[in-house]
Amino acid sequence: MSFITESLRKAVLLILSGSPDVFSAVGTSLNVAVCSIVLASLLGIPAGICTAVAEFRLKRVLMVLLNSLMAVPTVVLGLLVYGLISRQGALGTWNLLFTPSGMIIGLTLLALPIVTNYSLAAVKGADWRIVPTALTLGASWLQSLVQLAREVRFGIFAAVIAGFGRVISEVGVAMMLGGNIRGYTRTMTTAIALETSKGEFAFGLALGIILMGVSLAINTVLTLLQEKRQS
């Protein structure tokens, strides 16, 4: 018990002293997570809305595929992107492996099915009259879809927050594509895994506390959004 208490004390001190190693990992985590969620949102939100409103032959297949992609193990995704961006891969000449950019590609692909699926679900649960109402008031097809997105904005925010929660807490893709390079690609999760294995429990705990804080903030925002949507 004293080990936990002592480690906790050291962890709090590390946070309060502004340890460069701790805050470098926090900065890298936030940087790659924000970039990847922005990219995933730019692709996933329109994809989710279009999939929800369009009628096409393979729609059910696509929806099953999107659901399945949400459950893909992160190491498998990391492995596939590793094959793509490693020296022998199709994008090997771009030297993306073990860089934040490489991590962003992997994390974007990880968040994409989540953002797409949640956006799709938000639109499917929306009132069917939104698009026809907008159209009969003179909106173009694109303008009516924008109005639809506005009407389900809380559901779409929830999609983005859920995707962000996934990428900020992820370890497999970050480890495989980032390489856990100190001060460069070391994120909170990869640092926790490494430092704990080296016996630096307090350091891992310090990052764990910050990560828990981020997760708590994400869940609070999600809950508030859900309450707002229900009201």
Partner 1 sequence: MTNTVYRLASVEVRFGLRLALDIDELEITAGRPHILMGPNGSGKSTLLSVLAFLRKPDHGCVAFSGTPVSWTRKELGSLRKCITLLHQQSYLFSGTVMANVGFGLRLRGAKKEEIRRSVGQTLATVGLAGFETRDAAHLSGGEARRVALARALACRPQVLLLDEPLAHVDQESADIIEELITAQSRDGTTIVMSSHDEHIPERLPSRVIRLKEGRMPRT
Residues that bind partner 1 (CB under 8 A): 127, 129-130, 132-141, 143, 147, 150-151
Question: CA 149 to CA 228: how far, in whole Å?
Answer: 16
Query: Is the CB of 95 or the CB of 136 nearer to partner 1?
Result: 136
Query: Is the CB of 59 or the CB of 150 nearer to partner 1?
Result: 150
Which among 222, 217, 210, 223 is positioned nearest to 27, based on CA atoms?
A: 210
C-alpha dist (Å) from residue 144 to 31, 70, 184, 219: 34, 29, 44, 31
Contact present, 150 and 225 (Cβ < 8 Å): no
For residue 166, the minimal CB distance to partner 1 (Å) is 28
Query: Is the CB of 101 or the CB of 147 nearer to partner 1?
Result: 147
Query: Is the CB of 50 or the CB of 194 nearer to partner 1?
Result: 50
Question: CA 39 to CA 43: how far, in whole Å?
Answer: 6
Which among 123, 127, 113 is positioned nearest to 153, based on CA atoms?
A: 123
Which among 219, 218, 229 is positioned nearest to 156, based on CA atoms?
A: 229
For residue 133, the minimal CB distance to partner 1 (Å) is 5
Query: Is the CB of 38 or the CB of 139 nearer to partner 1?
Result: 139
Hey, is 67 helix, strand or coil? helix
For residue 140, the minimal CB distance to partner 1 (Å) is 5
For residue 148, the minimal CB distance to partner 1 (Å) is 10
The conformation of residue 178, written as its DSSP 8-state character, comes to: I
For residue 229, the minimal CB distance to partner 1 (Å) is 10
